[in-house]
Structure 1
Amino acid sequence: MTKALSKARPLLLDVNALLALGWSNHPFHDAVLERLDHSPSQRWATCLLTELGFVRLSSNATVVNVRQSPAEAIELLRRLTADERHLYCDILPTLASVRTTFKPLLGHQQVTDAYLVAVAAANDATLLTLDQRLVSTVVGGDRVEALLPKRVH
């Protein structure tokens, strides 16, 4: 029997949050797991952009400390997204339609993040990120939830 899923907005994981979920050696792995387990009936999501980023970075041994092919990274992603709580965000807005999201950006490194906020809004989701700065630098910051690192005592 499946559990009833929450009516709360799903969490669209950005690439770094998705990497943290998939790789137990990632410094935020436990934090992302705890966040998803905090509301076990809340759905979590990916989109084309986050999945491509996951495969690209998971195939880079410098990033994940494991040598793995893109095909192996896709298989890991398939296992992650087999979770009954997973949702695929398939509404991808055009850049022209989300230009206001980009107005407050400080530079080129925030372009993908701003677009992911727009994807989250278009799919009635909240972007889950590891980048605390993103909350205050994009239009639609109410659609962003940033995880803070756990303090080691």
Structure 2
Amino acid sequence: MRALLDVNVLIALLDAAHMHHTRATQWLQQQIANGWASCPLTQNGCLRIMAQPAYPQALPLAAVASRLAQAAAHHAHAFLADDYSMLDANQVHWPHLLGHRQITDSYLLGLAVRHQCRFVSFDARLNLQAVPGATAEHLIIL
């Protein structure tokens, strides 16, 4: 099953100095045959975070875009369109979201489920019950 990478996993893969770079890289090397994915939300987040001056290894925006484009050009990559709204009552179980910090990850988990992918994150607080149809198979916590 293809893996939709969370913003922080994508950043860890692209930044060799990131504290989770080795963990993310080793996981992807073991799973690359299944493929990986990004979407507009994860790509934009990666660009925004890695180019901001407060980021420890900040790069010019063009350099981050080039690095991300090179990774996305890999044959194992697929681009997933952001193709649903969380305002659709059939897409999210709001009572299972514990707070505002779970919105983006819940959206990405839902996107992974819609595209028969797994969502890969460092955040163990994500609640599978927030996304209709999500099972343990759809979530990998590194």
User: What TM bracket, shorter-length normalisation?
Assistant: 0.7 to 0.9
Cα distance, 1:135 vs. partner? 5.0
Q: Are the aligned partners of 2:3 and 2:36 in contact in 1 as well (CA < 8 Å)?
A: yes
Structure 1 gap ranges (5+): 1-8, 148-153
Q: Shift in Å at residue 137 of structure 1?
A: 6.5
CA RMSD of aligned residues (A): 1.8
Secondary structure, aligned partner of 1:124: coil
Contact 2:8 2:121 in 1 (8 A): yes
- For structure 2, which runs of at least 5 residues remain unmatched after alignment? none
Please point out which of 71, 77, 86 is paired with 1:95: 86
TM-score (norm 2): 0.87
Structure 1 residue aligned with 2:121: 129
- State percent identity of aligned pairs: 27
Equivalent in the alignment of 1:145: 140
Write the deviation string for residues 2-55 of structure 1: whole angstroms up to 9, x where unpaired. Answer: xxxxxxx11000000000111011111111111111133110000000000000
Amino acid at match of 2:121: T
AA of the residue aligned to 1:22: L
Of the structure 1 ranges 131-140 and 44-53, higher mean CA displacement relative to structure 2 is found in 131-140
Q: How does 1:38-77 map to 2 (within 5 A)?
A: 38-63=30-55, 65-77=56-68
1:60-114 Cα deviation digits (max 9, x unpaired): 2322x23422222111110111111111112521223354243301111111111
| Number of residue pairs the alignment of both structures matches | 138
Query: Which residue of 15, 18, 23 maps to 2:7?
Result: 15
CA distance in 2, matches of 1:137, 1:62: 35
| Shift in alpha-carbon separation, 1:101–1:31, aligned structure 2, 3 A | farther
Could you say which residue in structure 2 is the equivalent of 1:114? 106
Structure 2 counterpart SS, 1:62: coil
- Cα separation, 2, equivalents of 1:35 and 1:76: 20
Equivalent position amino acid for 1:144 in 2: L
- Rounded Cα–Cα distance in structure 2 between residues aligned with 1:33 and 1:93: 30
Paired residue type of 1:123 = H
Residue of structure 2 equivalent to 1:35: 27
